[in-house]
Copies of this chain bind each other. A is one copy, B any other.
């Protein structure tokens, strides 16, 4: 390890938190302790408070020394949902990355680990380039995380399986609730550009999915993904068909559904749109899309002079990403990707994005960590592949095979 630079390591967490992002934080720490700390290259392990904000902060307030934390404390933090170090929505540009580099120099940081989505991979990429240009030797590693499951090169991303498990469990319970009182139920799911999380509603079907025709006891009769152009006319016709036949209809809708022109439906229905720092309109944390669709259905499906159907909408909101009971597979994999990043550093790699690959499905499910160039992940968005999408409102068998091992075992219930 003669070619390894000596200095401090810094770890940050960025973007929307997940139920297992602290597993990755602890994974990096474990990996460093077993490798570069033991061999003397890494002196201090520093946590960035609120991601790169902690690095550009004046003084030492933005960093916390994690070097001496004992294993019991680390395990307790690993189990906690949401970013223990704090997160940030800042999306660093070139100028911002210069300031990050300055921060790294100030604190003698030579190993930079950033847990996040494609924006975080891009931050790693720019910082890595800036460091090289400046002749400051630094190693930059991106650790994948996102409930949207929208990172390229990855079979799936840590955070997604736990969020998918929440969505599946929610649809299981909610479907029985809807069947108890009948009517039309719309549930709005996170995931602006990628429909994986919305698609997880299909897993709530259990045995009912083998029936030739969706029954009363089906869960999520209709699934609307952001990858499939959304037509309000077709939506009303779909809902009408199910509701007329079964007296009820449970619907999964992605917050990011778009019309044929690629314009989002949410903002069209929302009275008060708000843009975040990335220029995106805020869809999470408001019930506007669900309430708008609910009004649409009430108006569209009320017979002339007749009674409006019972229509309810829930927006699952932040619970999807912070529910404190994760998928077991997810917790293990999130720890593994963090550890793998530290191992890459110990091997002398200079920069990489850790990725998850799969071997085997069903009961033979296995995953492993690998790596790719930061630029293969940075800024790109992965969508639901065509083989997972069935028509305009459903998923395929291939999606079940893909998603089931991630979500883990589900409770089974009896019906009359």
CA A86 to CA B84, docked complex, whole Å: 43
Asked if A81 is at the interface (CB within 8 A of a chain B CB), the reply is yes
A10 to B74, CA, bound (A): 55
From residue 263 to 299 of chain A, which have CB atoms closer than 8 A to chain B?
A: 272, 284-288, 290-291, 294-295
B322 close to A414 (CB less than 8 A): no
Q: Which residues of B contact A287 (CB under 8 A)?
A: 286-288, 290-291, 313, 315
Q: Could you tell me how many residues of chain A have their Cβ less than 8 Å away from some Cβ of chain B? A: 67
Contact (Cβ within 8 A) B47 A177: no
A14 to chain B, nearest CB (A): 10
Q: A169-B325, A173-B323 are in contact. Are A180 and B86 (CB under 8 A)?
A: yes
- Say if the beta carbon of A89 comes within 8 Å of chain B: yes
Q: Is the CB of A384 closer than 8 A to any CB of chain B?
A: no
A291 B294 Cβ-Cβ under 8 A: no
A80 B174 Cβ-Cβ under 8 A: no
Assuming A174-B318, A176-B82, A414-B79, is B294 touching A313 (CB within 8 A)? no
* Complex-state Cα separation, A294 to B411, whole angstroms: 36
* Separation of A318 and B287 alpha carbons in the complex (Å): 14
Interface string of A157-185 (1 = CB under 8 A from B): 00000000000011011101101111001
| Nearest-Cβ distance from residue A15 to partner chain B, whole angstroms | 9
**Cα of A122 to Cα of B146 in the assembled complex, Å:** 50
Given contacts A86-B179, A411-B325, contact A81 B314 (CB under 8 A): no
1/0 per residue, CB under 8 A from B, across A31-53: the answer is 00000000000000001001000
